[in-house]
Structure 1
């Protein structure tokens, strides 16, 4: 294929408007994920990034002939201890990371040697380039950045294919004995009071559910020693803002109640016939014996099927319950590149003994942020 050295213009635009019409159109036609949605990135850059003292590093690619937006690479400059890192706009809230463009446009960009060279120059200097949570290699970002080949992560994402009617999905995805057990638990739960399961439809119900989620998750994850993002005001504000602004389109917040009291919540994103679960919380203390988590996931699957969704995505993490609901693993990969001697030392240390890896991780962690962890069943 012939190289094209004048097809694209590349620049850094740290004031880029993710709520603009041109970005909405780019995202709609792109092969990006839900975590590059206009509302998601707008909230991340406007709320989380300032709170975490992370600086925008937004790479914008335009067609030179027309000026049309061709691609966006949403990056951040983050100081992690002594390390200057460049990474995707994530800050521990995004599960899948990708350039915002089509696979075809990405391939065209790779053929523009001058544009690639300019892009690589613009994102420097850095000690470490960190690009985790990559789903597939259709857009080989390592080639774009002249970085080492991607490597497999030590975790997977899981998704289950939904089929209508709900009973057919149950038969396909769940073990017969498990289906029987959940039916028994559901009957037990119904005897405890007036049981409802619904999707929030207004700001009041969203905030009620968010507060309940925060309450349920706090003690549970504190006991596990890894903390919970929702207990941090800036993260609670981020998730609440996305839920409120995405109401009825991009975001769904499911709530299970007994006698009007919230006992379970599931926050997720709606994207291209898929529902991606972000965060869950259950009243384990009150309903553990009823397998409240498992029953909630089953109700979410039913609600998704009723809406016509084709996939229920449990996102990243190897929790056993995901396989119980027919979740199939998909590999996750990452790209890491050293940009200095300090970065090279850090990369070397990460490949060595586990205790060294943990020491370097602690050194590089940004304000000791807790990892967003899903609640098992």
Structure 2
């Protein structure tokens, strides 16, 4: 049962500094994911939120006695169609969402009735509270917000455990026949010219690889609704900013070159012994029968093992290739809560009609247009 307490001060700080030392310290001792990293959230709030017409809703919890940070809840207010929604800071770029807090402090907050009530007051008003992409086994944000229980999403995340040496991991994770197939294709690829694989170590390499990724991904995703995010200047700026700020620590950008030209690239985040793949691109037109993607992921795994990583995370999506590398599925969760009659009607309709649920998903993924002063877009 919750108890009344006065241990915390809780406010909304729209201009919270995610690059501050105090947030870095909080993040390091928290149970948050790579997608709440200081660099990631700083770029998301400064580059993407204004473009989406989204208002920062950063709930900041401090210890009253010391003014030290206890928790940060990075949220956004976004109008989606007629509905006022409150969501995690995502905007289609984050795969895992979580409060930035240690499990112990989170338990203290749940046990503090006054703190829970204040957080719930600050989050309102909304028509719909929508929290998706919640990883399995993480902090129960629904209890803090007074929302109904989480439900499983229709997609999973996938990760493979890495073991050294590389040959041992490959033997245990990849089917023997597929190992032979990849080895054969790699030998054929080597015969086409001077083949190299590397991790970008300077600004020029990063910018070249990102530019090539944008070129390769455009045609590949053209048929998928509104296409690839990298084709949009604001998103390209976001990923470039994250890559350059995090180069050598938080971010790795791998490139495969043939005769000095980039033919494949993989962008990912480094977090607590895990490398999380967030974006990849391959010259499919030029190397259609070479399985460039699979060969690239194999080389990424090799480099991660040599660096001492324990996990290669392919993140969200049920693409079949992930299982070819021994990746195991992990469920993803979502919570929703109505905050008005309009929200209740929308939530009821989505639960009753599968086609409306699909329409709701498409609504949430609508193309972000430049924000206008008079009416926020989504």
Under a length normalisation based on structure 1, what TM-score does the superposition of the two structures give? 0.96
- The 3-state SS of whatever aligns with 1:5 is coil
Q: Does 1:210 align with 2:210?
A: yes
Could you list the runs of 5+ residues in structure 1 that have no partner in the other structure? 370-377
Q: Does 1:69 align with 2:61?
A: no
- Counterpart of 1:330? 330
Alpha-carbon distance in 2 for matches of 1:356, 1:65: 49
- What's the CA shift for 1:137? 4.1
Counterparts of 1:35-184 in structure 2 under 5 Å? 35-184=35-184
- What's the CA shift for 1:305? 0.5
- The 3-state SS of whatever aligns with 1:66 is coil
- What's the CA shift for 1:2? 7.1
- Counterpart of 1:310? 310
- What's the CA shift for 1:4? 4.6
Aligned residues: 369
- Counterpart of 2:375? none
- The 3-state SS of whatever aligns with 1:125 is coil
Structure 1 pair 97–2 and aligned structure 2 pair: CA distance change class (3 A) = closer
Deviations 1:104-149 (A, max 9, x none): 1100110110011011001110001110011134411111000010
Deviations 1:301-334 (A, max 9, x none): 0010011100000000000000000001111000
- What's the CA shift for 1:367? 3.8
- What's the CA shift for 1:44? 0.3
- What's the CA shift for 1:8? 1.1
Contact 2:51 2:368 in 1 (8 A): no
Q: Does 1:29 align with 2:32?
A: no
Structure 1 pair 215–73 and aligned structure 2 pair: CA distance change class (3 A) = same
Counterparts of 1:267-346 in structure 2 under 5 Å? 267-346=267-346
Question: RMSD of the alignment, in Å?
Answer: 1.3
Contact 2:31 2:138 in 1 (8 A): no
- Counterpart of 1:188? 188
Could you list the runs of 5+ residues in structure 2 that have no partner in the other structure? 370-378
- The 3-state SS of whatever aligns with 2:270 is strand
- What's the CA shift for 1:79? 0.9
Alpha-carbon distance in 2 for matches of 1:174, 1:359: 38
Contact 1:150 1:334 in 2 (8 A): yes
Alpha-carbon distance in 2 for matches of 1:360, 1:319: 22
Under a length normalisation based on structure 2, what TM-score does the superposition of the two structures give? 0.95
Alpha-carbon distance in 2 for matches of 1:262, 1:330: 33
Alpha-carbon distance in 1 for matches of 2:363, 2:235: 22
- Counterpart of 2:255? 255
- The 3-state SS of whatever aligns with 1:344 is helix
Contact 1:77 1:85 in 2 (8 A): yes
